[in-house]
């Protein structure tokens, strides 16, 4: 099963070299074995990236920058900014000799009171006014 863009395709050729290497690595037996082991823990593999604003091309996600999903929208911010937000890590990568989050999802819980006075727990994605870069 081919899990990567075809070499020679315009999408593959436009990827930065480190992202092309990531795409090719998915086919390696040792990477597939790692993925098999991760699957035991409901984990998978991702390719940390973002898209430039000029033409949407893939770009490497730089060290210290994290992808954040809120209100079904993806934004990018520094890890220091991300620490100030109630969130759940959803992707990790090896960086600077250790594991660090590379993507988070904002999930805030709230108690909702119905008109009848009953409270219930609403767990959902919530928006906010945080200014993202």
Q: Which two tokens stand for residue 81?
A: 């900014």
Residue 129 reports pLDDT greater than 60: no
At 127 the pLDDT is 42
Query: Any idea what DSSP says for residue 117?
Result: S
Q: Which two tokens stand for residue 112?
A: 């909702």
**pTM, 2 dp:** 0.68
Q: Kindly state the greatest CA–CA separation across the chain.
A: 63
Res. 37 pLDDT band, cuts 50 70 90? very high
Residue 125 reports pLDDT greater than 60: no
b/e map of 41-79 (b: 16 or more CB within 10 Å)?
Answer: eeeeeebbbbeeeeeeebebbeeebbbbbbeeeebbbee
Residue 110 reports pLDDT greater than 70: no
At 23 the pLDDT is 93
How far is 79 from 63, CA to CA, in rounded Å? Answer: 9
Backbone angles phi, psi at 79, to 5 degrees: -65, -35
Per-residue pLDDT tens over the stretch 82-104: 888 888 888 888 888 888 888 88
How far is 34 from 80, CA to CA, in rounded Å? Answer: 30
Res. 133 pLDDT band, cuts 50 70 90? very low
Sign for the pseudo-dihedral over CA of 14, 16, 22, 25: positive
**Region of residue 9 (left: phi > 0; alpha: psi -120 to 50; beta: else):** beta
């Amino acid at each position: 099963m081919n899990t990567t863009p075809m070499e020679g395709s315009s999408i593959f050729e436009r990827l930065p070299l480190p992202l092309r290497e990531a795409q090719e690595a998915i086919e390696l037996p040792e990477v597939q074995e790692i993925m098999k082991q991760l699957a035991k823990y409901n984990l998978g593999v991702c390719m940390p990236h973002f898209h430039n604003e000029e033409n949407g091309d893939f770009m490497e996600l730089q060290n210290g920058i994290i992808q954040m999903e809120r209100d079904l929208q993806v934004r990018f911010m520094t890890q220091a900014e991300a620490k100030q937000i109630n969130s759940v890590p959803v992707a990790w990568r090896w960086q600077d000799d250790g594991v660090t989050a590379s993507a988070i999802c904002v999930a805030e819980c709230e108690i909702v009171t119905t008109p009848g006075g009953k409270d219930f727990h609403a767990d959902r994605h919530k928006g906010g006014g945080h200014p993202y870069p």
